[in-house]
Chain A
């Protein structure tokens, strides 16, 4: 079946540091890939997505590239802010209509 593996958290960074959160997946066929973010006390919000190989999703300074050869969709941001502190979930849909989520990575950004 489909699965998503994310790097363990929590990740603690200083403001303006570079962020990478690793995500790899296992899926049959050609899944679509997503990053969702969950701010404290809130629900899940779509951050970005990519629907085919080599696509790059981007939003709010975050980006991730769909790499079929390495089955990866790593999330990156060049300069994080305190307001980026949240839990980030990598997810995919493939061979069906449902999202399969990774375990989530908590990011804490400090001044």
Chain B
């Protein structure tokens, strides 16, 4: 079964450093997402991406964050200058169509620890 894959599975970084989290969405999907889950808290939407541009973003997704689809398969989340409060599990997700009933498929997550 096709799946969303994410790398790395775990990264430890020092505060102020840049981090890039990588994702390979399911190949024929058109909508891409990043979510995050701070330990013990709810899963929060960060950003959605369609047709090579951001379609929606949350208040969390400030100027420190950016996303890119550098080629036909990868989708990346960059955090420019990490803060302690960026420590979380980051989930990449994708879906096929704009239909709100269409399933969004998630990767296994990248656990980011900022020290």
Contacts and interface: CB of A to CB of B under 8 A. Distances in A.
Contacts, number: 58
Query: How many residues of B sit at the interface, in one of the four size bands?
Result: 20 to 34
Contact of B41 (A36, A45, A94, A103): A103
> Which of B31, B43, B48, B105 has its CB near the most chain A CB atoms (within 10 A)?
B43
B91 A44 contact: yes
A93 B45 CA distance: 12
Nearest to A52: B101
A44 B91 CA distance: 9
Nearest to A6: B42
B25 interface: no
A97 B48 contact: yes
Contact of A97 (B98, B103, B106): B98
B101 A49 contact: yes
A98 interface: yes
A97 B108 contact: no
Contacts of B43: 44, 89, 91, 99, 101, 104
A24 to B, nearest CB: 15
A98 B56 contact: yes
Interface string A63-107: 000000000000000000000000001010111111111111000
9 contacts: A32-B100, A46-B104, A46-B105, A97-B48, A97-B55, A97-B100, A99-B104, A101-B42, A101-B44
Interface of B: 31, 33, 35, 41-45, 48, 50, 55-56, 91, 93, 95, 98, 100-101, 103-109
Sorted nearest first, the 4 A-B pairs with minimum C-beta distance are A51-B101, A43-B108, A32-B101, A44-B106
